[in-house]
Amino acid sequence: MRDNYALVGFMGCGKTTVGRELAKRLQCPFWDLDAAIAQGERRTIPEIFAQQGEAGFRELEHAYLKQAAGRRGVLSCGGGLALFPRNREVLSRHFTTVFLDCDFETCYQRIRASSRPLVQDKSEAEVRALFESRYPIYQACCDLQVNAAHSPFMVVQEILKQRRRHR
- For 25-68, write each residue's pLDDT tens digit: 999 999 999 999 999 999 999 899 999 999 999 999 999 999 99
State phi, psi for 84 to the nearest 5 degrees.
Answer: -105, 125
The dihedral through the CA atoms of 27, 33, 38, 39 has a sign that is: positive
Which positions make up the binding site for substrate?
Answer: 34, 58, 79, 134
* Region at 56 (left for phi over 0; alpha for psi -120 to 50; beta for the rest): alpha
Mean pLDDT per 10-residue run, the chain (167 residues)?
91 95 97 97 94 95 95 94 97 97 93 71 90 97 96 97 88
In the CATH scheme, what architecture does the domain 5-166 have? 3-Layer(aba) Sandwich (3.40)
Q: Which helix (H) or strand (E) holds 23?
A: helix 15-26
The pTM score is 0.93
Q: Which residues are annotated as a binding site?
A: 12-17, 34, 58, 79, 116, 134
pLDDT of residue 28: 97
Annotated binding site for Mg(2+): 16
CA-closest candidate to residue 37, choices 77, 88, 6: 77
* Residues 83-97: b if buried by 16+ CB within 10 A, e if exposed: beeebbebbeebbbb
Q: Say what the pLDDT of residue 70 is.
A: 82
In the chain, where are the structural domains located?
5-166
